[in-house]
Amino acid sequence: EERLKGGVTFIVLGASGDLAKKKTFPALFALFQNSFLPRNTTIVGYARTKMDSAAFYSRIEPYLKPKQDDPKKSVQEFLKMCHYVPGQYDDEKCWEDLDRYVSDLETKHSLKDEQKNRIFYMALPPSVFVSVADGLRKHVYSKTASTSIIIEKPFGKDLESCRALLQDIQKLYKEDEVYRIDHYLGKELAKNIMTVRFANMIFCPLWSRVHIDSVQITMKEPFGTEGRGGYFDEFGIIRDVMQNHLLQLMSLVAMERPVGRDAESIRDEKVKVLKCVKPIELKDTLLGQFVKSGDKPGYLDDDTVPKGSLCPTFAAMVLWIDNERWADVPFILKAGKALDNGKVDIRIQFKKLHGSLFEGVARNELVFHVQPGEAIYMKFNNKCPGFSDDSMITELDLTYRTRYKNLKVPEAYEALVLDALRGDHSNFVRNDELIASWKIFTPLLHQIEKEKIKPEPYLYGSRGPKQLNGFVRSYGVERLAHE
Ligand code: BG6
């Protein structure tokens, strides 16, 4: 990589935690296996837990998945690049020690000053976030070459706390040094939305209120919040996945055509469309909380959840974009824990056909099946094959598994870490994007908390609250038959 000529030290803060173990190190390993890490890459894990490198290796190794034709050897080679340094998050001396450790490694690789690039990956809880960013800036920020800092949600809890966090970071780092992860932007199908929309003439003229009746973006998870009830209860489903992941998907579906494919052109359009979204109203919202079903515990049965918590684990809400393209088209966002299955999809439902020639046929629907198993398909009316003249709904189907047989779709974190190594901000969240997104959600979140709105109960493993079908139907959505 031209940008990181010489070498790079990738420093993972919070290296003993879950995110680092399950996402960051496996992503780095996958990039290593595919020869995407620049020459002279060194990885340094840093966290409070005292342990030696051997103990650290045995902690991350179970999550490193070598390719089939490449057993074990690559894991050992990768681990040789990894180091572990224990230390505190608020102690100058520890930061100085870390800086010395990294400098020694750079010297070992004979890096000249202008070749010393450092990347900080913050796999940390929000409570220590700013103090670590500060310590790093003061003591580990290399003055001689590039520095990047990769950070993850939560970016605050509402507009005000987000602003404060952005300001704290802005005092320390320049905007182009900061990479704010929303890992949904690293998913293959999220990255594909722009291509499908803007590289296909057939969709360009159809993509508006003239032909589209509704857009539904759904994220279902089949598991509850077992074990992370403490964290979850402070945030709830709306902050956990809707204000960020689902809204990001929505802005990609709804934005105007960017003037270029560079990061600023794309993010300019996302911010513009978000600014047209009206703050969500309570009347356009349905909240739920899962309850015990069989041997599956309810949300409140978890000891780490405060008694009587009103925290929603499910929400459906309708967003309205007040511009020429989308006025009166409902964008329905739905997300829930402990549902009947796990999937993420985007359904763009077209308007009803007019005239009596094919009266009553189903509508067209374009579906981005984000996961599991990437697919794009179009619900489509076809003559029943054979002697019948009836029409039936079927699918024009682009399922990745069958179409691209030997492709291993990269994990979101792999794609994003590679983008950060390349210095490409397109799939990272800009500060004004965050502000615009919190403006849409903050009044609603505050109202829910202030008025203590009670979520509707739903059984663990069900489709959600029983009001859901009626809620969705009331915005004109047609449920299409499956074959
Ligand atoms: C995280 C949320 O951001 O995304 C989790 O905090 C959620 O609650 C996860 O489970 C879902 O990510 P993915 O990639 O598994 O769909």
User: Tens digit of pLDDT for each residue in 370-385?
Assistant: 999 999 999 999 999 9
- Which atom of ligand 1 is nearest the CA belonging to 184? 14
Minimal-distance CA residue to ligand 1 atom 10: 221
Q: Which of 151, 241, 248, 334 to mutate for ligand 1's pocket (most ligand atoms within 8 Å of CB)?
A: 241
Q: Which residue has the higher pLDDT, 467 or 360?
A: 467
**For a pLDDT cut of 70, what percent of the chain falls above it?**
99
Tokens 């374009």 — which residue?
366
pLDDT digits (tens, 9 = 90+) for 8-23: 999 999 999 999 999 9
Closest CA to 377 of 219, 483, 261: 483
Minimal-distance CA residue to ligand 1 atom 13: 184
State mean pLDDT over 256-279.
98
pLDDT digits (tens, 9 = 90+) for 147-164: 999 999 999 999 999 999
Catalytic residues: 245
- Work out the pLDDT band at 482, boundaries 50, 70, 90: low
Q: Over 80: is that where the pLDDT of 69 sits?
A: no
CA 225-227-231 angle, 5° bins: 70
What's the gap in Å between 334 CA and the centre of ligand 1? 14
pLDDT digits (tens, 9 = 90+) for 309-355: 999 999 999 999 999 999 999 999 999 999 999 999 999 999 999 88
Burial class (CB in 10 A: 0-12, 13-18, 19+), 470: exposed
Q: Over 80: is that where the pLDDT of 87 sits?
A: yes
pLDDT score of 142: 79
Minimal-distance CA residue to ligand 1 atom 9: 241
pLDDT score of 71: 67
- Please give all residues whose beta carbon lies within 6 A of any atom in ligand 1, as ranges: 183, 221, 240-241
Q: Over 70: is that where the pLDDT of 248 sits?
A: yes
State mean pLDDT over 275-300.
97
State mean pLDDT over 264-289.
98
Q: Which residue has the higher pLDDT, 39 or 395?
A: 395
Closest CA to 180 of 152, 215, 218, 222: 152
- Which atom of ligand 1 is nearest the CA belonging to 183? 14
What's the gap in Å between 152 CA and the centre of ligand 1? 12
What's the gap in Å between 241 CA and the centre of ligand 1? 7
Determine the Cα–Cα distance for residues 37 and 33; give it in Å rounded to an integer: 9
What's the gap in Å between 156 CA and the centre of ligand 1? 17
pLDDT score of 483: 44
State mean pLDDT over 196-209.
96
> What's the helix, strand, coil split of the chain in %, to 5?
40, 20, 40
Q: Which of 221, 226, 413 to mutate for ligand 1's pocket (most ligand atoms within 8 Å of CB)?
A: 221
CA 208-395-207 angle, 5° bins: 10
- Which atom of ligand 1 is nearest the CA belonging to 187? 14
- Which atom of ligand 1 is nearest the CA belonging to 219? 16
State mean pLDDT over 118-123.
96
- Which atom of ligand 1 is nearest the CA belonging to 371? 16
Minimal-distance CA residue to ligand 1 atom 11: 241
Helix (H) or strand (E) holding 288: strand 285-291
Q: Which of 19, 24, 153, 183 to mutate for ligand 1's pocket (most ligand atoms within 8 Å of CB)?
A: 183
Minimal-distance CA residue to ligand 1 atom 15: 221
- Work out the pLDDT band at 208, boundaries 50, 70, 90: very high
ipTM above 0.90, yes or no: yes
Minimal-distance CA residue to ligand 1 atom 8: 240
User: Which one-letter DSSP state was computed for residue 340?
Assistant: S
**Relative orientation angle of helices 263-275 and 247-254, to the nearest 10 degrees:** 100
State mean pLDDT over 262-291.
98
pTM of the model: 0.96
State mean pLDDT over 73-86.
94
pLDDT score of 356: 87
pLDDT score of 480: 73
State mean pLDDT over 54-71.
89
Q: Over 90: is that where the pLDDT of 461 sits?
A: yes
User: In whole numbers, what is the pLDDT of the chain averaged over residues?
Assistant: 94
